[in-house]
Structure 1
Amino acid sequence: MKLGLLVPQQGPSGLWAASAICCAELAVLELNERGGVLGQPVELVSIDAGASGASAASAAEEAIGERGVEAIVGMFPSYARTPVARAIGRRVPFVYTPQFEGFERDKGIVTTGETARELLGPAIEWFKGHGAPKRFFLCGNDYIWPRASLAVARAMIGHSSVGSVVGERYLPLGDQSYHELLACIAASRADVVLPFFLGSEAIAFHRAFSDAGLTSRALRFTPALDETILYGIGERATDNLYASSAYFGAVASRNNGAFLERYHRLHGESPPPANAFGQSCYEGVHCLGSLIEAANTLNAGAVSRELGRTRQHRTARGEDRDPIAGARQPIHFARVDGYDFTVLPTS
């Protein structure tokens, strides 16, 4: 069976390609050790989604029509999800793996990533227990994931009485002119900044935030932060920085420990860092394999119908050794300490 891994290898989210491919390779190796899928060995086909929705849709079309891909696992920004789904047209199963804003209604898309509401919840609870009501400033790239996610944040902040929103700004992808944005943040006297910038754009924002001398004046919280971005930001720019995710390499659990041991056994001592976005492809491949086996067919509709009632054979997340495929996983809230994440209690 040919399994397509559709990830950007360029653009702001291209920095996750190496870890995504390494994590998917491990999952495919494990599937094949179990006998493959439907009695066939799985062949991983890496596909460059490019830097736009149009390029991702074109790559998906070519993968199915010319390269014979029979299922697709995708890890790319939300702006490409609908174009890719339309290009696939339910001809093959499609699993979408990264965190996203939520609200997906297309039954042809199996989503396995965390939603904005899930990721924001632990942070809101933590803020409620730590000091007086906060002044929040919301900012990010100007497309569906930041705008929809921060709309959820605005509503949750209002309903929780944890504070108030004192500013909101968006910048186009590729615009790293942060001077005006940072001046607005400083003028707002915000206690907490929620930056939702994508990949390399996040690295540039956090560096600029530090250079503007704001790290001691406002806490930053974002789910758009993982080990790859953290290493790019640099240790000097990480004061008062917090994140939430269903996966951190630092999570101490049986599932994650076993995953990391196998990951390093396959890829050596210094592979691309296991991170939430890349590791989501490991989850996606195993979720897809389990769904196909349960459906006993590659029919996209039949595969989707197995979601929520089929056991996933491997995971690095949560505590359940064999979770329900597509089930929600625990969300962790963490403080950045230099180049490391320290997972914190939220209750």
Structure 2
Amino acid sequence: MSSPRYEPVKIGVLYSTTGVTGLIESSQQSATLFAADEINRAGGINGREVQLHVRDPGSVAANYASMAEELIVEKGVRLIMGCYMSSGRKLVIPVVERHNALLFYPTLYEGFEYSRNVFCTGTLPNQTCVPLADYMLEKFGSRVFMIGSDYIYPYETSRIMKDLVFERGGETVGEIYVPLDASEDHYRAIATRIASQSPDFVFSTVVGVGVERLYRSFAKSGLDPSVTPIASVTTSEAEIAAMGAHLGEGHFTSASYFQCVDTAMNRSCLDNYRRFMGGDAVTNMCWEAAYFQMQVLANAMRDVGSDNPVSLLRAIPGMEFDAPQGRIRMDEENHHAYLHTRIGRANATGQFDIVASMPERLRADPFVIVHTPVNDGPSAQGRHTVAGG
């Protein structure tokens, strides 16, 4: 049943602005606020205002679930944007399923999951790890050291990357997982170990405050990114802005979006976002997913004339949207997104130079059924000369 014509559309927002992942989640919250402002300025949802109910889970997994329950039961929210780490998402899913609400999840994650009550707009390993493995093995060599934060996503993603490296004739020379709040001394010891192993590159799934500690320890240990770079699927412009461009320069990230993406939609979106924020603003892959999923939801609600989850479950699958990264599509079968894959090398300004890109958007494969990307790998067009290649 449709909501009353002029009643606000209630949307819950569960992004941490404090705690170990507060930096990146703050950007997701900002993107959500920005998208809601754009939607309301354009007349809302068929005249209905989007009303955000914002909570800060503090990077504590259990808080995401309890706050989702509170939003649904006490505030009447049926649509929720949020979660970053898989530990939080996995606790929220039973809550939205029990109440037949919807969760929109804009964060890269490990896959191996499906819920009819969840739409995932972040990247999966087949969209980032497969192209990254091909690129790094070709350009730098076959000996890989793996480091990740100690939770579900890094374990599963590194497992997939190990398979990809092995299948391509490579070797994992070391693997370690680090507590989310590990000290810089802890990272310094790991950097020393990495140097002793002499890998060709380091695959990182470190998140949160650990990103700066890893890259700083890497630099202090004398490891040269032109010889032994970090190749990450989690380090974005947000982390580089926080730690300083000099620490990120020369390292690689595989993502669906970088701030430097040269599309008309991205240029327009950046101009509008800077006006919204009142000055310079740094965007990143998680910011972009949080932004476009709000716009996809808004378009679906306009189409069906309702914010009823049952109606939206019929409307969202198959929808397309011109996102800042390029045109995306919500998969009809698995509730994930077709996304554009790029590999970027961080430069001296804190931004990325795109050194490789897939020629077509990639369909999300949550169960990594295929270990090769479409069109046999990154396109040569747009590649830059890479030291060590």
User: TM-score normalised to the size of structure 1?
Assistant: 0.91
1:311 pairs, out of 317, 320, 342, with: 320
CA distance, structure 2, for counterparts of residue 234 and residue 331 of structure 1 = 25
Matched, 1:342 2:353: yes
Matched, 1:224 2:234: yes
Q: 2:262 is matched with which residue: 252, 256, 260?
A: 252
Cross-structure match for 2:276: 266
CA distance in 2, matches of 1:230, 1:98: 18
Percentage of matched positions with identical amino acids: 25
Q: Does 1:154 align with 2:162?
A: yes
Aligned residues: 340
The 3-state SS of whatever aligns with 1:136 is strand
Counterparts of 2:50 and 2:215, CA distance in 1: 40
Q: Mapping of 1:99-114 within 5 angstroms? A: 99-114=108-123
Output the amino acid matched with 2:38: E
Q: Measured at CA, do residues 34 and 234 of structure 1 come closer, stay the same or move farther in structure 2, by a change above 3 Å?
A: closer
Amino acid at match of 1:174: D
8 A contact 1:49–1:55 mirrored in 2: yes
In the alignment, is residue 168 of structure 1 matched against residue 179 of structure 2? Answer: no
SS at match of 1:324: strand
Give me the whole-angstrom Cα distance separating, in 1, the residues matched to 2:146 and 2:41. 46
Q: Identify the residue that residue 193 of structure 1 maps to in structure 2.
A: 202
Q: What's the CA shift for 1:295?
A: 4.4
Give me the whole-angstrom Cα distance separating, in 1, the residues matched to 2:73 and 2:82: 17
User: Match of 2:355, as an amino acid?
Assistant: L
1:36 to 37, 44, 48: 44
> Matches of 2:239 and 2:119 in 1, distance apart?
26
Is the contact made by 1:19 and 1:279 (CA closer than 8 Å) also made in structure 2?
no
Decide which moves more: 233-242 or 328-337.
233-242
CA distance in 2, matches of 1:317, 1:290: 18
Contact 1:93 1:298 in 2 (8 A): no
Does residue 48 in structure 1 map to residue 48 in structure 2? no
Tell me by how many angstroms 1:72 deviates: 0.6
Aligned to 2:250: 240
Shift of residue 330 of structure 1? 0.7
Which amino acid is 1:4 matched to?
G
Cα RMSD, aligned residues only: 2.0
Unaligned runs of 5+ in 2: 1-8, 331-335, 357-377, 380-389
Query: Any conservation in 2 of the 1:7–1:49 contact (CA below 8 Å)?
Result: yes
One-letter identity of the residue aligned with 2:210: E
Change (3 A) 1:254 1:90: farther
- Following TM superposition, by how much is the alpha carbon of 1:296 offset from its aligned partner in structure 2, in angstroms? 4.1
Output the CA distance in 2 between the equivalents of 1:239 and 1:277: 20
Question: 1:81 and 1:61 mapped to 2: Cα distance?
Answer: 13
Q: For the Cα contact (< 8 Å) 1:47–1:63, is it kept in 2? A: no
| Structure 2: distance between partners of 1:128 and 1:209 | 20
Decide which of 324, 333, 345 is 2:329's aligned counterpart: 324
Of stretches 178-187 and 188-197 in structure 1, the one that deviates more from structure 2 is 178-187
**How many Å separate the matches in 1 of 2:162 and 2:310?**
36
Deviation digits for residues 72-91 of structure 1, max 9, x if unmatched?
11142111111011223343
The 1-side partners of 2:207 and 2:112 are apart by 19
Summarize the Cα distance change of 1:175–1:29 in structure 2 as closer, same or farther, 3 Å threshold: same
Comparing 12-21 and 251-260, the one that deviates more? 12-21
Work out the CA distance in 2 between the residues paired with 1:99 and 1:295: 29
Q: Which amino acid aligns with 1:140?
A: G
Pick aligned residue for 2:91 from 83, 87, 107: 83
SS of 1:203 mapped into structure 2: helix
Distance 1:75 1:280, change over 3 A: farther
Amino acid at match of 1:249: Q
Q: Is the 8 A contact 1:90 1:301 kept in 2?
A: no
C-alpha distance in structure 2 between counterparts of 1:285 and 1:34, whole Å: 14
State the distance in 1 between where 2:283 and 2:63 align: 26
Please report how far the alpha carbon of residue 282 of structure 1 lies from its aligned counterpart in structure 2 after TM superposition: 0.6
Shift of 1:262: 1.4
